[in-house]
Chains A and B, each alone.
Chain A
Amino acid sequence: MYVFGFAVLAVVATAAGVAVFVVDSMARATFALAVSFVAVGAELLLLGSGYLGVITVLMMIMEMAIMAVFMIMFMMNPAGLMPMSMVHNKRGSLAISLGAFAALALGAILVPWPDRRGKPAGDVTRALGESIMGPKMLVMIGVSAVLFATIVSALTMATSRGRYDRSPSAPMGAGD
């Protein structure tokens, strides 16, 4: 059952990845890529790492939604009204991607996989956090707050005279 589900999702992920380069619209290409990532996230769910799987789906869909804005803003022919290609140097890129795919797939099949030792932790999410951050948890939490504050303040500074050109002292909601 799980193996079957895994195989189906693997095919979906690969096919959606191929579709990115086959479809002729930027919007379809973007969301084909999103489908591919969602299938990978579902694979992680099947492997029993719930947090990683769900967070992959969350991040990738958010990312693709934002990317759609920029891709359509900057690419020629976004709606696929004329034939378009996502590929430059068609033959070379095809050879490289097929070669990479074959090498990775063969590696996955031919490598002698070790048997499982030990058991998964009861709370996989907690174990994941411990193993990524371990004793540096406090530092990481501090750093994350600083990083986040940096993002917010950078954005605030960057947009204080944005599209609507408000003066920084304008009251909330005024100026439009």
Chain B
Amino acid sequence: MSGPADAWRVLPVGALVLVVAGLAAFADAALAPAPGRLPLVQRLGVPMSEAARLLRQRRRGVVGSDGLLRVVGCAGPLVVALLMAVVVPFGGVTGADLPVGLVWFNAMDVVLWATWWLAGWGTNSAYGLVGGYRFLAQAIAYELPLMFALTTAGIAAGSLQTSQIVAAQHGTWFVVQMPVAALVFVLSVAAFTAWAPFDHPAGRDAAGGLLAELSGIDRLLLLVGRYALLGVGAAMSAALFLGGGGGPLLPGWLWSTVKTAAVLLALVAMRHRCASLPAERFMRWAWLVVLPLTVLQALVTSVVAATGR
């Protein structure tokens, strides 16, 4: 276990998360298939002008909103992304290589249950609250498949330490060995980020749901946090299922970057090409189809791991 002397390592991790969040926002702007498309250069300016606009915008709020809980809710996604990032191996380096890194990642994504709901509650808006409740319903749908996906990677590596899981993929990437778990994990990243097709909590049919009443710095913080979560989730997918920094010729950090970018671009591209999936329909799919499949995947991987050892 790393001691306090290694604590400085988390600072570059935090900076990297913010850079990745910014790049995700630019990619999102570049891939958005808006009607009457702007030229690419102008589209790339959209995140910057939007950030500048939100920084200048005065925060508006509903009477009787709970300021403290709103701030916790808005800061939540970014804080969670930073806390998740410390256990994500990137090119052979991990910010804090906890012996239970996998469980840590899982616990941090559960923190989002609270923060998304608080963002909805804190604004004292009916639409926001509807969004918060929708997120909790969605969370019940994706959390168990996500847990089984993480468990499966842990079983195959025989360790809860994320660096060990990367090391265990020296021969074959886990995406080959456990395709269901890999796919479920990537989709769960979109789900806990409230990203399309799992953006029902921030759906247009509820006037923006979680985002309905957020303005100014609150909104900026939440949107940056969302992109950061997406980036960290993509990096974790690359580490857990795509062999992390492993690959021929190129150095580890470059492989990690390439793989993370590929997953991130896929997630961003998915956003504008999928219809929003309502929580009750998502629930049906998640529990009746995906959950049995992930359990089966865990069983197969366990049998392979038990007989191979």
Contacts and interface: CB of A to CB of B under 8 A. Distances in A.
A125 B98 CA distance: 12
Nearest to A164: B280
B106 A58 contact: yes
A28 B66 contact: yes
Interface string B262-287: 00000000000000001011001101
A65 interface: yes
A19 B289 CA distance: 43
A54 B160 CA distance: 12
Contact of B280 (A25, A81, A163): A163
Given A68-B117, A125-B100, A173 B284 contact: yes
B288 A156 contact: yes
Nearest to A159: B283
A173 B160 CA distance: 36
Contacts of A55: 103, 107
Interface of A: 1, 25, 27-28, 31, 34, 50-51, 54-55, 57-58, 61-62, 64-66, 68-69, 79, 81, 123-125, 148, 152, 155-156, 163-164, 172-173, 176
Interface residues of B, number: 37
Given A28-B69, A125-B99, A61 B64 contact: no
5 contacts: A54-B104, A61-B107, A65-B136, A68-B117, A125-B160
Contacts of B103: 50-51, 54-55, 58
B4 interface: yes
A163 B289 CA distance: 20
Interface string B131-147: 00100100100010000
A4 to B, nearest CB: 12
Contacts of A172: 281, 284-285, 288-289
Contacts of B121: 27, 68
Contacts of B288: 156, 172
Contacts of B68: 28
A152 B286 CA distance: 11
Contacts of A57: 107, 110-111
Contacts of B284: 172-173
Nearest to B135: A65
Nearest to A57: B107
Contact of B281 (A28, A79, A124, A173): A173
B99 A50 contact: yes
B69 A62 contact: no
Contacts of A79: 64, 66, 124
Contacts of B118: 27, 31
A50 B102 CA distance: 11
Contacts, number: 82
A81 B114 CA distance: 22
Contact of A61 (B4, B104, B111, B124): B111
A47 B117 CA distance: 31
Contacts of B124: 79
B291 interface: yes
Contact of B69 (A31, A69, A123): A31
A44 B154 CA distance: 22
Given A58-B110, A156-B288, A173-B285, 11 more contacts: A31-B114, A51-B160, A54-B100, A55-B107, A57-B107, A58-B106, A65-B117, A68-B117, A123-B99, A172-B281, A173-B281
Contact of A152 (B72, B99, B100, B287): B287
A173 B98 CA distance: 41
A119 B160 CA distance: 22
Contacts of A176: 278, 280-281
B114 A61 contact: yes
A68 B119 CA distance: 13
Nearest to B104: A54
A54 B100 CA distance: 8
A68 B115 CA distance: 12
Q: Which of B111, B121, B291 has the most CB of A within 10 A?
A: B121
A79 B125 CA distance: 12
Nearest to A170: B284
A62 B113 contact: yes
A28 to B, nearest CB: 7
Contacts of A34: 114
